[in-house]
Amino acid sequence: MRSLGTRRVTLAAGVATVAVIALAGCSAGQVAETAILKTPISGLNTQSPDGRLLIRNLQVVYNDPEGYPANGDASIEVGLFNQTTEEMTVLISSRPLQDEQAGVVSARQIGLSGSAAAASPSANPEPSGTGTDPDEVGGGNDQNTGVEQPSTPPSLAGTPSVAPTASLRPARITLPALSSVIFLPEADAQLVAAGLSDELRPGNSLSLVFEVSGQSQPIELTAPFAVPLSPASRAPGEAGENHE
């Protein structure tokens, strides 16, 4: 006859075996949670001091390891969300920082290129995540795009105007109540920094100023350079590099 201690050990081992089999059955056919996680967002998330405007995933679009040359143009990715029940106008510009910082580049002009209709605001309350979703970009028509196209760049708070680049429209964006507009690298409408003051490459950032109607203090930000989704290809070694 087995002792009481032996029976307890046997019973515990049987329970453990059943638990392992049950867990294996529950996990069969299921996708691991880590396999469905979205790509981490590398852009800057912030808002106006009064919380009326949310700025999401602000960053310079990654192009290649060399970045953008001085006097060149760079694409900007950002989502703007109007959290109020009133219409809002946002003017985006660039100027050198008062306190010079290494690696911070400014631009001669921030403007819009491509289709104005593609930059139309869409009804969208406060975003649930920290990034931007391409499906949130709304459609529109040329008569009510939400992106004004004056002949000269306006200023909401006395920022000096500059002559616009011929192919760009001033980045003056009107957001209806509780709406949003999102600029993505693959979209028809692009937000562009034209005439860079210096080379803009990975590790550097772009100086931007957001002026919001009804707010006297401009929002000064530095947009980081986006992180590539995959490692850059390595250049082939020179002939005879691995030979003595």
Domain coordinates in residue numbering, the chain:
4-35, 41-224
Q: For residue 118, which of 136, 105, 137 has the smallest C-alpha distance? A: 137
**Mean pLDDT by groups of 10 residues along the chain of 244 residues:** 54 52 48 47 91 97 96 97 97 88 94 79 62 39 39 40 68 97 93 97 97 93 90 55 48
pLDDT for 51: 95
For 119-152, give one letter per residue: b (16+ CB within 10 A) or e.
bbbbebeebeeebbbeebbbebeeeebbbbeeee
* Those residues with Cβ within 8 angstroms of residue 90's Cβ, 6 or more apart along the chain or in another chain: 53, 80, 172, 173, 174, 175, 210, 211, 212, 213
| H or E element, residue 15 | helix 4-27
C-alpha 228/C-alpha 44 separation (Å) is 15
Model pTM?
A: 0.66
Look up residue 224 and give its amino acid.
P
pLDDT for 151: 36
- CA distances (Å), origin 46, targets 5, 59, 79: 63, 12, 11
pLDDT for 41: 63
Domain 41-224 fold: Immunoglobulin-like (2.60.40)
pLDDT for 42: 77
Please report, to the nearest 10 degrees, the dihedral formed by the alpha carbons of residues 133, 135, 137, 141 taken in order.
Answer: 180
Token pair recorded at residue 108: 């001669």
Token pair recorded at residue 47: 């808002």
